[in-house]
Amino acid sequence: MEFKQIQKKIVTEISETMNGISEEQVLQVAHAISQAEKVFFVGVGRVLLSLEGIAKRLAHLGVSTVVVGQITEPAITENDLLIVGSGSGESAFPLAIARKAKQFDAKVAHIGSNPNSSMKEYADYFVRIPVQTKLNLENEVSSVQPMTSLFEQSLLLLGDTIALMMIEENEIDMHGLWRFHANLE
């Protein structure tokens, strides 16, 4: 078991996956984030952890972000965006939350692997992270990693990519971002 060999396999998988993401799909979601009053995030398990990282980073950019379920969660409105992270697009909790968000006329963006999932019924935007699924879809990146690690890693990097796109587009002073960083640490 060699660290360098395993690390190289993981980095290669991530690179191949990120190269397979549609720039047009990402631009649509980045624009939706910029237009929203508040951006809500929902997912489960390790996907939720990646989404929490994205929410925190966007908050550093001055975006009003909310993780569904947090104790201070406000009401979602027609001026808001819900970002759903679900590789399969079939996870019960994110599906229920997306359905509920549509009842309040919020926009929904699904980031997942399966473009033809049940989530398709609720999503206004979709970004496909082309990782291996049980469905063996076209152009899937296979992984040597356990479970859905490649999806979760790529999701977090996608969020950081969108954040950097917003920084460059809005010519945000990187040093000035520290004013949004937690200071009760």
Please give the model's pTM, rounded to 2 decimal places.
Answer: 0.95
Tens digits of residue pLDDT in 43-78: 999 999 999 999 999 999 999 999 999 999 999 999
CA distance linking residue 185 with residue 173, whole number of Å: 23
Asked whether residue 84 carries a pLDDT value surpassing 80, the answer given is: yes
Range with lowest mean pLDDT among 46-50, 86-90, 102-106, 172-176: 172-176
pLDDT of 174: 87
pLDDT of 135: 74
Tens digits of residue pLDDT in 131-140: 987 777 778 8
Tokens of 57: 């980073």
CA distance linking residue 28 with residue 13, whole number of Å: 25
By annotation, the residues acting in catalysis are: 152
Asked whether residue 176 carries a pLDDT value surpassing 90, the answer given is: no
Q: Mean pLDDT across the chain, nearest whole number?
A: 95
Specify the CATH superfamily of domain 19-172.
Glucose-6-phosphate isomerase like protein; domain 1 (3.40.50.10490)
Domain limits, the chain:
19-172
The mean per-residue pLDDT over the stretch 157-176 comes to 94
The mean per-residue pLDDT over the stretch 97-118 comes to 97
Tens digits of residue pLDDT in 85-96: 999 999 999 999
Asked whether residue 19 carries a pLDDT value surpassing 90, the answer given is: yes
- 77-107 as b/e: b if 16+ CB within 10 A: eeebbbbbbbbbbebeebbebbeebbeeebb
pLDDT of 183: 87
pLDDT of 179: 85
